[in-house]
């Protein structure tokens, strides 16, 4: 496949690989059955962080997709479905359903009444350019602050949150490489004393972001600085 695309035979010349934005993605929390915190909602493969964390590599991502799809979900989803199989059809007349439908209808009407002149692709490209240049594989505090300000003008909060999360993590680890935090050899410099935790952000009622931390405890291995030199 590589030879067909590039015209270069990888058996004779090294493959040209470049890290993509895809490598910076995170993942949904799941339990051992691959179910998220939403009952009945399962996340498989790269959509969760059950095996490989937020840093995605081709082979490990493929392995996780195969493992989740072939060996886990066929045996775990039945536990949930067994209690739902006798559930009768849910009426759409319930007050919560009507309220949800009205909220969606109001949102759609609001969007249609804007009568904007730019397509979705326009904003997608603009936001993508900001994220690629300032919150990509390599980040720094100055560029991240610029990105947050630019996103706040008219883009999605999720992009802003990714930059905020990258800005507060003053270390380099996995797919997160802060240019200010590297060794003399250019290797990632972790700060395990202050950042040995998994973080999940929550949007509070006053529209503020709150970080929830889950401490990472290593009992069977000793974490150490990694070097590829």
Residues 63-88 pLDDT 10s: 888 889 999 999 999 989 888 777 78
- In this prediction, residue 57 carries a pLDDT of 59
Q: Which of 60, 84, 108 is the last residue of a domain?
A: 84
Q: 131 and 180: one domain?
A: yes
Contact yes or no for 176/198 (Cβ under 8 A): no
Asked if the structure places residue 53 within a domain, the reply is yes
The rounded Cα 208 to chain-centroid distance in angstroms is: 20
Asked if the structure places residue 72 within a domain, the reply is yes
Nearest to 138 by CA among 187, 194, 195, 184: 187
- In this prediction, residue 154 carries a pLDDT of 86
Q: Which 8-state DSSP code applies to residue 91?
A: P
Q: Is the torsion defined by CA of 82, 85, 88, 94 positive or negative?
A: positive
Q: Which of 84, 111, 135 is the last residue of a domain?
A: 84
Q: What is the CATH number of the domain that holds 169?
A: 1.20.58.100
> Residue 55 sits in which domain range?
2-84
Q: 10 and 56: one domain?
A: yes
User: CA–CA distance from 43 to each of 65, 68, 84, 179 (Å)?
Assistant: 10, 9, 19, 32
Asked if the structure places residue 45 within a domain, the reply is yes
Q: 135 and 61: one domain?
A: no
Asked if the structure places residue 100 within a domain, the reply is no
- In this prediction, residue 20 carries a pLDDT of 62
Q: Domain count of the chain?
A: 2
**Model pTM?**
0.61
Asked if the structure places residue 76 within a domain, the reply is yes
Give pLDDT < 50 ranges for the chain: 53-55
Q: 142 and 70: one domain?
A: no
Asked if the structure places residue 13 within a domain, the reply is yes
Q: 78 and 9: one domain?
A: yes
Asked if the structure places residue 178 within a domain, the reply is yes
Name 200's bridge partners: 212
Asked if the structure places residue 194 within a domain, the reply is yes
Q: Which of 84, 104, 135 is the last residue of a domain?
A: 84
- In this prediction, residue 104 carries a pLDDT of 96
């Amino acid at each position: 496949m590589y030879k067909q695309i590039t015209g270069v035979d990888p058996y004779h010349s090294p493959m040209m690989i470049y890290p993509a934005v895809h490598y910076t993605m995170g993942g949904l929390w799941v339990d051992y059955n691959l179910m998220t915190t939403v009952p009945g909602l399962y996340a498989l493969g790269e959509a969760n962080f059950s095996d490989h964390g937020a840093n995605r590599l081709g082979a490990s991502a493929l392995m996780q997709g195969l493992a989740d799809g072939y060996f886990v979900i066929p045996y775990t989803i039945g536990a949930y479905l067994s209690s739902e199989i006798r559930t009768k059809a849910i009426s759409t007349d319930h007050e919560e359903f009507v309220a949800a439908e009205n909220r969606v209808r109001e949102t759609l009407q609001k969007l249609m009444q804007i009568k904007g002149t730019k397509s979705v692709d326009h904003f997608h490209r603009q936001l993508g350019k900001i994220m690629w240049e300032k919150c990509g594989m390599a980040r720094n505090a100055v560029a991240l602050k610029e990105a947050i300000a630019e996103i706040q003008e008219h883009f999605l909060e999720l992009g802003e949150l990714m930059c905020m999360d990258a800005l507060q993590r003053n270390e380099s680890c996995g797919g997160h490489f802060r240019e200010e935090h590297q060794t003399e050899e250019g290797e990632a410099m972790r700060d395990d004393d202050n950042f040995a935790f998994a973080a999940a952000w929550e949007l509070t009622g006053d529209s503020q972001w709150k970080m929830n931390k889950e401490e990472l405890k290593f009992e069977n291995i000793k974490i150490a600085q990694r070097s590829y030199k």
